[in-house]
């Protein structure tokens, strides 16, 4: 006889720290948000040109698009009004800390301490 656990799912740490706006705009809240999304298949899968509200998922999509060759770094910077330095910061932060590191409010927590 097999007994299945019928307990309620526990809220993940990610769900606890997401803002209400991010929860509302999240495509798949059940998806593991600690990893970047799947590689975009085409330029149409990237955020819309002129995007100004940068949630973590959109930043990760742009980084994935440049890495996969769907869009060049130069074109991505023009399309989204980014500096090369800002894009490189997104890329480095994603590599070091995962998608949650791309949250602007987390930057101070991720900076190395001086001392």
Query: How confident is the model over 11-51, as pLDDT tens digits?
Result: 544 444 445 555 544 444 444 455 555 565 789 999 999 89
Look at residue 113 in the predicted model and tell me its pLDDT: 61
Q: What is the pTM of this model?
A: 0.61
Give domain status of residue 95, yes or no: yes
Containing structural domain, residue 72:
52-115
Look at residue 14 in the predicted model and tell me its pLDDT: 46
Which pair of structure tokens corresponds to residue 112?
């190395």
Q: Is pLDDT at 8 greater than 70 in this prediction?
A: no
Which pairs with CB-CB distance under 8 Å and at least 24 residues apart come from 31-38? 33/57, 33/99, 33/100, 34/98, 34/99, 34/100, 35/98, 35/99, 36/60, 36/63, 36/64, 36/94, 36/98, 36/99, 37/61, 37/64, 38/64
Give domain status of residue 64, yes or no: yes
Give domain status of residue 30, yes or no: no
Give domain status of residue 88, yes or no: yes
55-103 pLDDT, tens digit each: 999 999 999 999 999 999 999 999 999 999 999 999 999 999 999 889 8
Give domain status of residue 82, yes or no: yes
Instruction: Supply the CATH number for residue 74's domain.
Output: 1.10.10.10
Give domain status of residue 87, yes or no: yes
Give domain status of residue 94, yes or no: yes
Give domain status of residue 78, yes or no: yes
Q: What total of structural domains would you count in the chain? A: 1
């Amino acid at each position: 006889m097999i007994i299945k656990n019928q307990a309620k799912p526990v809220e993940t740490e990610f769900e606890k720290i997401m803002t209400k706006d991010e929860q509302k705009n999240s495509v798949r809240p059940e998806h593991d948000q600690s990893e970047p999304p799947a590689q975009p298949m085409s330029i149409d899968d990237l955020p819309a040109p002129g995007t100004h509200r940068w949630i973590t998922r959109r930043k990760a999509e742009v980084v994935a698009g440049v890495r996969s060759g769907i869009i060049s770094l130069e074109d991505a910077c023009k399309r989204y009004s980014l500096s090369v330095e800002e894009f490189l910061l997104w890329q480095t932060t994603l590599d070091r800390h995962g998608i949650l590191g791309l949250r602007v409010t987390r930057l101070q927590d991720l900076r190395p301490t001086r001392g």
